[in-house]
Structure 1
Amino acid sequence: NGPNLNRLGVREPSIYGMATLADIEAMLRDRLQERGYDLIFRQTNHEGELVEFVHAADGANGVVLNAGAYTHTSVALAD
């Protein structure tokens, strides 16, 4: 999870809702555990650290990435 997603539930709740990133993590963790999957959940506001998270997932069955604003600006993540 990319920049400012740690502000969910606080930043403009009329637009982004009241659910916090911790709420979303708990919901995903419960649903995935019911299906026998593990979840590694991370958040950073730093592009380079986000790239390192992706590299560390090499060999994982899958990666779900909400890169936030970096979807518009990051060549490193698009690559």
Structure 2
Amino acid sequence: MPKNIGDRPLKYRELRKKLRDLRGVQEKKGKGSERILYHPNINGKPAFYPVKCHGEGDELSKPVVRAARQRFNIPIEEFY
């Protein structure tokens, strides 16, 4: 594993697959082009994270990937 591992941009479908496989995160449709990533029990509370998605192949920026990973309590070493 590289020393300077950090979050990197991911396509929406890659992020959704990683979150689903690691934590069982579900996807719900929001208003317009917004998708809601949802898990019913993270530390005893439901966790939601809204993401703009204009298509499955949209690339999400580093801060969006980091925020989603942190919202669902996934350590960076486990995520990549």
1 or 2, which has the higher strand percentage?
Answer: 2
Greater RCO, CA 8 A, separation 6+: 1
In our comparison, the structure showing a higher alpha carbon Rg is: 1
TM-score relative to the length of structure 1: 0.31
TM-score relative to the length of structure 2: 0.31
